[in-house]
């Protein structure tokens, strides 16, 4: 954009002369939204797909590129992307949306005309309300089903609020305890 290639209106806001009028420069950026589940454990666990007949897709297209493509990934790790639980030992399970919805696109814009200035970046995370939050909620529910299995009963030491309002808030904030 600093070279004069982009949306002339946006460039002129920063005193940059438009050389090539390409209004789509800086648009259609997207990333993979991440949600984190973390809880205390007593000691030191994929890819998931929502069924095609899920009510998530009643009013929005299924964003997966094919019938076998995952909607989300679950990552068990020894690091945490959110606040650390108060317990000394903890389990962190991170969820990623593999296929954000069609409207989950952000943008990159100039902040200043200075080429070294940090640009304004909107990653468009969870921007497609019809699919992104419901898919992330399903990913988190999958994690909650996993840690609710009998194999974990001696390890998971904290209760988890799995109500829909709590899960929606978790999707937006990015972590659940």
Mean pLDDT of 42-52: 71
pLDDT at 12: 94
Whole-model pTM: value is 0.66
Q: Are 115 and 2 in contact (CB under 8 A)?
A: yes
DSSP secondary structure, 119-143, as one string: PEEE--TT--TTTHHHHHHHHHHHH
Mean pLDDT of 62-81: 80
The answer on pLDDT for 23 being more than 90 is yes
**Structural domains present in the chain:** 28-176 (3.30.560.10)
The answer on pLDDT for 146 being more than 50 is yes
pLDDT at 102: 79
pLDDT at 156: 77
Structural element, H or E, at residue 167: helix 164-173
The answer on pLDDT for 172 being more than 70 is no
Q: Are 95 and 74 in contact (CB under 8 A)?
A: yes
DSSP letter, residue 156? B
Mean pLDDT of 33-40: 75
Q: How far apart are the first and last CA of the chain?
A: 42
Among 13, 18, 57, 160, which residue's Cα sits nearest to residue 5? 18
pLDDT at 44: 44
The answer on pLDDT for 81 being more than 70 is no
The answer on pLDDT for 91 being more than 80 is no
Residue in this structure with the two tokens 């800086």, named with its chain if needed: 26
- Strands lying side by side in the sheet with 27-29: 27-29, 106-109, 120-122
The answer on pLDDT for 104 being more than 70 is yes
pLDDT at 43: 46
**Average pLDDT value over all residues in the chain:** 81
Residue in this structure with the two tokens 């309002």, named with its chain if needed: 165
pLDDT at 169: 67
Cα angle at 26 between 135 and 19, to 5 degrees?
A: 165
Mean pLDDT of 69-78: 80
Mean pLDDT of 97-119: 86
Give Cβ neighbours of residue 151 (< 8 Å, ≥ 6 apart): none
Residue in this structure with the two tokens 């940059």, named with its chain if needed: 16
170 vs 94, more confident: 94
Give Cβ neighbours of residue 29 (< 8 Å, ≥ 6 apart): 105, 106, 107, 108, 121, 122, 123, 124
DSSP letter, residue 87? S
């Amino acid at each position: 954009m600093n070279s004069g290639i982009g949306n002339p209106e946006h460039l002129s806001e920063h005193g940059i002369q438009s050389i090539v009028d390409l209004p789509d420069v800086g648009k259609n950026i997207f990333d993979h939204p991440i949600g984190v589940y973390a809880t205390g454990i007593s000691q030191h666990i994929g890819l998931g797909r929502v069924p095609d007949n899920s009510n998530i897709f009643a009013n929005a297209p299924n964003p997966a590129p094919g019938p076998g493509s995952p909607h989300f990934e679950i990552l068990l790790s020894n690091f945490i992307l959110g606040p650390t639980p108060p317990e000394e030992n903890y389990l962190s399970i991170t969820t990623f949306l593999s296929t954000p919805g069609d409207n989950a696109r952000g943008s990159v814009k100039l902040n200043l005309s200075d080429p070294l200035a940090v640009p304004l970046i909107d990653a468009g995370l969870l921007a497609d309300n019809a699919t992104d939050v419901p898919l992330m909620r399903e990913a988190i529910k999958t994690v909650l089903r996993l840690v609710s299995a009998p194999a974990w009963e001696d390890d998971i030491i904290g209760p988890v609020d799995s109500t829909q309002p709590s899960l929606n808030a978790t999707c937006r904030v990015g972590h659940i305890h």
